[in-house]
Structure 1
Amino acid sequence: MTKPKFIVISEGIIEKIKSGEYQPGDQIPSENELIKQYRVSNTTARKSLLDIESKGWAKRIKGKGTFVLNRTPDHHLVRTLGSIMATRRGFHDSLIAEGFRPKDLVLEKAILPDGISTEIGGKHFIIDGPVLKIHQLRYADEEIIKDEIKYVSLKLCPNIHKKPTEISYFKAYETTYRLKIEEVKQTLSADITHPESKDNNFDLKQATPVFILDSAVVCANGKVVELERSYYRGDKYKFAIVANPEYHNTDPES
C-alpha cells in the first residue's frame, strides 16, 4: 500500500532528526519550503509538519517556524561553536525552540565608564568605555544551566541597556544597530566547580565539570561590540563545532 505523500515527507524529516542532521533547536523546512522542494500542495506540506509535531519530534512556534525538540535521554543541550545562526538566535529563543522553559536571574546590570579587555585564543580584544555589564544566571525548567557575564559597547550600541536581558543581543547588533559583524572568536575550556567555591552560582552539591566559553564579537571596522565569558554545566551540555562556517550578514527572521 502506497503511503500518503505527507507521511513520506514527514518520515524523511524525522529520519534526518534521528541521524543528527537536524539538531535540537534547529528549524526544519517551512511549509513554503516543503511546497517548493517536494512540489506538493500547501495542504500536504501543512499535514507533514503537523505529523512531525504530533509524533513529538518538533514544535511549532507561532510566527517563527517549527523547531526540533530536545529528545535526548539525558536532556543534554547541544551548542555549536562557529554557528552564526545559533549565535544569532540567542540563548532564550534556543531553549524555547527545544521545548524548555527559560528564565533569567540578573545578578548585576551596570554601566562601566572605563573600557574592558580580555585575551581569547592568544589575541587581545578591547572595548572602549562606556560598557554595559550584564551578569545573569540562565535557567532551563527551573534549573540553572549557564552562568553568563557579557560586556557590550555602549558606543556602538547606545541605549541597549534599556532592552530586556533575554533578547538576542547578536540579532540586535545586526538589526537595530546595523552593525556588520566580521568575526565571532570563541574558545572553549573546562574546569571543575566545587560546592564550596565562591564562584559556584549553580547551587551544586558535588564537584561538577563546567565548560568555560570565552567569546568576542568583532565588527567589520575591527571594533569589538561584545565580550563574553560564560560557564556551562558540563553535565547538561555537549558542544559541537562547525568547520569553516560561511557567514552572511543578513537581517535574520526568527
Structure 2
Amino acid sequence: MYLYEEVKNRIGSKISSGEYRKGDQIPSEMELAKRYNVSRITVRRALKELESDGILQIRHGQGTFVRNEENLNLRMLNLRGFSELETREKVHFKRSIISKTIIKDKELDEVFESDFEDEYLRLERILQDEKNKPRFKDISYFPMSIYKDIYDKITANISTFQLIKEEYNIKFDHYSKLISVIHDPQVNIELKILPSEPLIFVKKKIYDEKKRVIHYSTHYLIAKEVTFELNSLQFNE
C-alpha cells in the first residue's frame, strides 16, 4: 500500500467513526503531515483522492471540509470497490453472491491479453444497503493463472481487492473505465426497479505495476443514483 493510501484510509476512518462529521473542517495539510509523519505532498494526494471520491470538499482559501450531503449518491467513477463505498458513505453494505463459476472465454483472453486459453473465475454479486435495497450489480473476472485457488477464498462478505493485495501480493497501479447508458430488463428486476429505468453500465480494467490487466469487471448502477463529477487540475483559456 502506498503512503498516501495509508493517510487516506486513516482520514477516512475518522470520518467513518464520526470523529470528523459532515460539514466539519479537518486539520490543515501541515497539521496532518506532522500527525502522520509524512510530507505535505503525500497529504495533498490523499486529500485529492478523498475529494474525488466525494468524501471531502477542498475550498481554496478556506480549508478542507467533510462533504455535507444527505442523499446517498454513488460516485462510481472514482470508487475502487465495495469496501471503499462503505467507507465513503459510512453505511454497511451487504454483498450477495448470485453465482460463482469457472469459465473459459476467448473474449476474456483478449481482455486480459493472454497468450493462451486461460480459465477465469466469474463472480456475480449484488450490493444491498442496510434496508436490503439493491444498490448495484457487479460481475468480476479473475484469471486462474494469476489467482490460484481463489475460488475457495471468495465468500460473500470478503473484499476481493483486499484479498488480491494480501493473498496474492499484487498492487494496483491504475485503471480504465468505459461508461454507457443502457436498458436491461433482467438487471432491472434484480435491482428491483421499474423496467423503464435506465442503467449506468461500467466496464473496468485494473492494471498492476507491470501494466498487466489483473482484474476486469462490469457494473450495473441505477442511473438516478449516480453522480458524475469531472475535475480539472488546471484550466487554461
> TM over 0.5: same fold?
yes
2:23/2:68 contact within 8 Å kept:
no
What's the RMSD between the two structures over aligned residues?
A: 3.7
Structure exhibiting the larger radius of gyration computed from Cα positions: 1
Structure 1: which 5+ runs fail to align? 1-9, 17-27, 38-56, 59-67, 245-254
Q: Any idea what SS the aligned residue of 1:185 has?
A: strand
Distance 1:93 1:221, change over 3 A: closer
In the alignment, does 2:23 pair up with 1:14? yes
Larger strand fraction of residues: 1
Counterpart residue identity of residue 153, structure 1: P
2:22/2:68 contact within 8 Å kept:
no
The structure 1 residue matched to 2:134, chosen from 129, 144, 148, is 144
* 2:10 match: none
Larger helix fraction of residues: 2
1:92/1:166 contact within 8 Å kept:
no
In the alignment, does 2:186 pair up with 1:198? yes
1:116/1:126 contact within 8 Å kept:
no
TM-score using structure 2 length: 0.61
In the alignment, does 2:27 pair up with 1:36? no
Counterpart residue identity of residue 23, structure 2: I
Count of residue pairs the alignment pairs up: 181
Structure 1 residues 33-92: Cα deviation after superposition (integer angstroms, max 9, x where no partner)? 65936xxxxxxxxxxxxxxxxxxx99xxxxxxxxx6x853432232343xxxx41xx313
Q: Distance in 2 between matches of 1:79 and 1:186?
A: 10
Q: Distance in 1 between matches of 2:223 and 2:69?
A: 15
Q: Distance in 2 between matches of 1:99 and 1:236?
A: 17
* 1:207 match: 196
1:214/1:230 contact within 8 Å kept:
yes
What's the % identity of the aligned pairs?
A: 17
Counterpart residue identity of residue 110, structure 1: T
Q: How big is the shift at 1:181?
A: 3.3
Structure 1 residues 201-220: Cα deviation after superposition (integer angstroms, max 9, x where no partner)? 21213521211110111234
Counterpart residue identity of residue 199, structure 1: V
Distance 1:181 1:198, change over 3 A: closer
Q: Distance in 2 between matches of 1:12 and 1:148?
A: 30
1:117/1:126 contact within 8 Å kept:
no
The structure 2 residue matched to 1:75, chosen from 60, 72, 77, is 72
2:119/2:143 contact within 8 Å kept:
yes
Larger RCO of the pair (alpha carbons < 8 Å, separation 6+): 1
2:141/2:217 contact within 8 Å kept:
yes
* 2:205 match: 216
Q: Distance in 2 between matches of 1:149 and 1:175?
A: 21
